[in-house]
Structures are given as C-alpha cells and as structure tokens.
Structure 1
Amino acid sequence: MAMLSAIATAVFLMLFIAITWWAYSAHRRHANAESAMLPFLLPDEAEVAAGRMDASRPNQ
C-alpha cells in the first residue's frame, strides 16, 4: 500500500508541476493579462444595487 501511495504522490506532483508550467508559460501571458482585467470590466456592485448605470457602458 505504501508503494501505491508513493506512486500516486509522484504522479500528482508531476501533474502539478506540468499545470503550473503551462499556466505561467509565455504563450499564456496574453490570456492571463486579459483574465486579470475582468474584475475591472464588471460594473461596481454599489452602482448595480442603486440602479445607476455608467454612461460608458451602454450595453449593460
């Protein structure tokens, strides 16, 4: 049972390293920067609750 646990740990460690490598690779830089700006593209909760809409966001 200890051997199975060791193999599973090694496999999941390698999977974690691979996903981390992919997520921070150079070809993901644009997608990461775009995703980082998403919170700033959403309307403020206070504006939505008050029913006011920003004039620069006509589609909302």
Structure 2
Amino acid sequence: MIILIYQRGDQYIEVDGESRAAATNAARDQAEDMRHDFGSYRCIAEYPAPKKVNKNTVL
C-alpha cells in the first residue's frame, strides 16, 4: 500500500493504491472529476518513503 498527496495551490488530493501507478491513476481521476488539469498538481508526499531518493524527491 502506498499513499500519495498531490497539491495544486490550496487544494490537495490524497490517494492510496497497491502501487505508485495505481495511486497516481486514482489522483488523476479525482482531478478530472473536479475539472482540473492533473498536470497542474505536484506530488508533495509519499508514504512509505521511496527506497531510492534523489535530489528531486520531496520527503
């Protein structure tokens, strides 16, 4: 189970899924339901933290 939190301005989407891809797809569906462009959201948190961390990863 993985939990992702996406942010767009003052709006947040929190989703969970069996994989990062499944959670991302759920977030995309929620954004579309709210008539927002999913590209305007950014992932601000991921739990559990990714095993491989690079300089662009937000923890």
TM-score, normalization: structure 2?
Answer: 0.29
Question: Which structure carries more strand by proportion?
Answer: 2
> Which structure would you say has the larger Rg?
1
